[in-house]
Structure 1
Amino acid sequence: MKTILSGIQSSGKLHLGNYFGALRQHIQMQEQGDAFYFIANYHSLTSINDGEQIRQNTIDVALDYLALGLDPEKCTFFVQSDVPQVAELAWILGTFCPVSLMEKGVAYKDKVGQGLSPNIGLFTYPILQAADILIYHSDLVPVGQDQKQNIEICRDLAGKFNHNYGNDYLKLPEEHIVESVAIVPGVDGRKMSKSYGNTINIFDEGKTLKKKVMSIKTDSTPLDEPKDPENCNVFALIKLFADEEKQKEIAEKYRAGGYGYGHAKKELLAMIEEYFAEARERRKELSQDLDRVHDILQEGGEKARKRAETVMEPIREVTGLFKSHQYSLKS
């Protein structure tokens, strides 16, 4: 059985871009192998330095995943910091990583371009991500196209380590590019991202959800005139929720005229509410039983640590990083 590995940051409320770009695929793949899914709170420290916020975000992500259908009986679900071996391996991998490799990081350049402070954690993010993957001997890593470079860096570092020590201590993973999804637009038309502050969160509801949907940016085409659905942010979101028949029906309304963006937004609002209705109720129930959520994460952490330790033991030995009682003094 192949090991599947992926994670998501605890850096804020999860939004529609997170769901259609990652979470939905994670849930679908939990029955296709030995799946390890983690909440990446170490990674979140590159952008958040508030302990209480990190803790709350971590619980929120756990609630979201479980409410949306992640089953801890079918996968290992845990928090990244519950596996200290990952930081240990990241340091070792860093000693094999040329600075020039990090300087080529597209994700780093993009985030700096969005205004994030270029700290060392952000700069070396791909090394920690590589450790996340390699510490479990992962076979498949479901990622979006924008993360493909980081998987290549991971394979490169694992290859350098194995070559140096003359054995396959680290398994080289394969990326699994998730089902192609068009870029999910935010309310301002740019890619939906917490960095842009343009998100519609998965579990937004009531007035908050309505306000965000009704604020989606559109052009100034008058109500009576025909409109192009393929160049409309609202329709791009509708396509994520509607089946082909419904998409065709709404597209025809766009082209016929007499159908305004306000009408489209109301249809989108109803779709979002219906699509997440059951998950929203499950999340409310789970939020009243946080002890259960903590137990799930604790059990997942224990299982993940056991797997990680089997990978680290031979690495410590070959690198000479024995435990203190293992050193033998020679005269």
Structure 2
Amino acid sequence: MEKMLTGIRSTGTPHLGNILGVIIPSIYMANKNKKHSSFIFIADLHSMVQIDNIKTIQNNTYQIAAAWLAFGLNTDNCLFYRQSDVSLVTELAWYFSCFYPYQRLTLAHAFKKKEIEDKGKISVGLFAYPILMAADILLYNAKIIPVGKDQLQHIEIARRIANYFNKKIGEKLFVLPNAFLQKQNMFVIGTDGKKMSKSQKNYINIFSSDEILKKQIMSIRTDSKSVKENKDPVTDNIISLYSLIATVNEIDMMKKRYIKGGYGYHEAKIALYEYIIHKFSLERKRFFSFMKNKSLLDHILALGAKKAKRIAYERLNYIRKHLKLNSII
């Protein structure tokens, strides 16, 4: 049985790009998979290389958990947990760091980018980030890893580590993970026409208040054509976003209005805003309800961690045995 695993860093409320590109496809996979063959964790330990405020990470964790649950993640079928609640993963990361070549790790994209931008602020955690990610995956022998293109190198590092240990020990101790790139919704544009990103501040947060959500949508960049003029639906940012969530007929209708003229960008933005409010009304209601009941979120994540710990404990003892170390008591 092939296991699927995906991690989400605690960097804030998932935006529309995260929802369409990661959350919805991953939930679909998890809910249709066999029981306990899917692992979805909130990577709060990874987030510490980016955020140094623990309370912020904690609140972000709640927002992420609430968002995934709001979109219908079935926690009876998968393991949904907080990364720091299964600390055994850090022990495995240490074993990997003792064997993986330093020079290879200096080639990691995130490290090289930070080295160029601000070498003085590179932490050991940022440098070793791919090692912990490899441990997240290999601890559970996960095979299918849904990722974006920017994470492909990290999966390759995990594969190299798995190969190294398999050859060193002389048996298939670790399954080689495969990156799973979602064919649809891999690139969701932001309000400026570039890829939607929190760092670029061009995102749409469907879990914002109505007022803030409307403000975000009204900030979508367009050309300067007047209401009367006909417009090109192919190059328009509003239609690009509308096309990701609306039906074929609704998309076609808006495109015809663009081509005909007499339909302004303001009107199109209002249509997009109202469509988001309508389409995600249930998910928004669920999200706000979960955020008012953080003890329930803690309970759900703790149950997932308990299941994950059982598997991690057995796996780590098996790995320890092959490294000639004593078992965990």
Same fold (TM over 0.5): yes
Tell me the CA shift for residue 130 of structure 1. 1.0
2:25 is the counterpart of 1:25: yes
Look up the match of 1:9.
Answer: 9
Residue 75 of structure 1 corresponds to: 78
Give the Cα separation in 2 of the matches to 1:83 and 1:221. 55
Shift of 1:241: 0.8
User: In the TM superposition, what is the alpha-carbon distance from 1:189 to its structure 2 partner?
Assistant: 2.4
Per the alignment, residue 328 of structure 1 pairs with none
Distance 1:99 1:180 in 2: 36
In structure 1, C-alpha distance between the alignment counterparts of 2:188 and 2:65, rounded to whole Å: 22
CA deviation string 1:20-59 (max 9, x = no partner)? 1100111101122311100000111011000111111111
State the shift of 1:108 in Å.
Answer: 4.3
The answer to which of 14-23 and 310-319 deviates more is 310-319
Contact 2:228 2:261 (C-alpha < 8 Å) held by counterparts: yes
**Alignment match, 2:39:** 36
Q: 1:273 to 1:51 in 2, by over 3 A?
A: same
* 1:282-301 to 2 correspondences below 5 Å: 282-301=286-305
1 CA distance for matches of 2:187 and 2:326?
A: 47
Change (3 A) 1:229 1:121: farther
1:59 and 2:62 are equivalent in the alignment = yes
Q: Partner of 1:304 in structure 2?
A: 308
| 1:292 to partner: Cα distance | 2.2
1:270 and 2:271 are equivalent in the alignment: no
8 Å contact kept, 2:189–2:237: yes
**3-state DSSP class of the match of 2:199?**
helix
Percentage of identical aligned residues? 39
Letter in 2 for 1:105: A
**Cα deviation, residue 155, structure 1:** 0.8
1:163 positional shift: 1.0
Measure the CA separation in 1 of the matches of 2:265 and 2:194. Answer: 18
| Matching of residues 181-330 of structure 1 within 5 Å | 181-322=185-326
Over residues 108-142 of structure 1, what are the superposed CA-to-partner deviations in whole Å (9 max), with x where a residue is unaligned? 44577788953332232221111111111112112
Give me the whole-angstrom Cα distance separating, in 2, the residues matched to 1:139 and 1:271: 37
| CA RMSD after TM alignment | 2.1
Residue of structure 1 in register with 2:92 after alignment: 89
Deviation of residue 318 (structure 1)?
2.2
Q: In structure 1, list runs of 5 or more residues that go unmatched.
A: 326-331
Question: In structure 2, do the counterparts of structure 1 residues 59 and 101 end up closer, same or farther at CA, with 3 Å as the change threshold?
Answer: same
Whole-angstrom distance in 2 between the partners of 1:104 and 1:251: 45
- How far, CA to CA, are the matches of 2:184 and 2:97 in structure 1? 32
CA 1:294–1:220 in 2, change beyond 3 Å: closer, same or farther? same
Alignment of 1:109-148 (within 5 A): 109=112, 117-148=121-152
Kept in 2, the 8 Å contact 1:205–1:273? The answer is: no
Per the alignment, in what secondary structure is the counterpart of residue 180 of structure 2?
Answer: strand
Structure 1 residues 245, 176: CA separation in 2 closer, same or farther (over 3 Å shift)?
Answer: same
Aligned-pair distance for 1:313? 0.8
TM-score of the pair, normalised by structure 1: 0.91
Distance 1:182 1:227, change over 3 A: farther
* Partner SS for 1:175: strand
Which moved further from structure 2: 218-227 or 125-134? 218-227
Match of 1:46 in 2: 49
Aligned-pair CA distance for 1:166? 1.5
Read off the aligned partner of 2:231 and give its amino acid letter: K
1:321 and 1:224 map into 2 onto residues whose CA distance is 76
Contact 1:187 1:216 in 2 (8 A): yes
Contact 1:19–1:202 under 8 Å retained in 2: no
Question: What is the CA-CA distance between 1:67 and the residue it aligns to?
Answer: 1.1
Cα separation, partners in 2 of 1:151 and 1:91, compared to 1, 3 Å? same
SS of match in other structure, 1:167 = coil
Q: Structure 1: which 4+ aligned runs deviate by more than 4 Å? A: 107-117
Q: How many residues align?
A: 325
**Shift in alpha-carbon separation, 1:252–1:112, aligned structure 2, 3 A:** farther
